[in-house]
Amino acid sequence: MATILLVEDEPDLLFVFQIVLEERGHRVRTARNGKEGLDIASRYLPDLIVTDWNMPEMDGEELCERVRLSPALASVPVAVLSARYPPAEKNFLWNAFLLKPVDVETLQLTVARLLVGRLSGTSVKPALCDPAPSRWQPISWRCWP
């Protein structure tokens, strides 16, 4: 199955979400903040990132921005979890938003929907305007809608 990066600073939620996703057959990598999540994403290139919005060290917003600027990670779908709505003008940074508390069924359905697009080769986001010449060269913000 797919490799999912789960980024959550609350240990109980991290554990529950990990168990739920592993029961579905996914390989789950975990991180407790955005900084750790970005490091893991860069090393393992997950098929999907599920992240909390409010975290210490690096929050979900900065994590999403850095993922979208990384040529190696830019096409990875991102689902954001939060107890409050993030700014609407930032909605191009993620593919799905789930309001906490998130029930298990909603999480599973959202993950399945995002992975179908990712693993089937269809894009869940509009294509970038110009591909970066190297997978390690940053992508300009102007390419995103």
Q: Which residues contact 11 (CB under 8 A, 6 or more apart)?
A: 32
Closest CA to 82 of 2, 142, 16, 10: 10
Look at residue 115 and tell me whether its pLDDT is greater than 80. Answer: yes
Give tens-digit pLDDT for 15-63.
Answer: 999 999 999 999 999 999 999 999 999 999 999 999 999 999 999 999 9
Question: The whole model's pTM is what?
Answer: 0.80
State whether residue 28 is helix, strand or coil: strand
What's the total number of domains in the chain?
1
Q: Which domain CATH number covers 120?
A: 3.40.50.2300
Q: Domain of residue 136: give its range.
A: 3-143
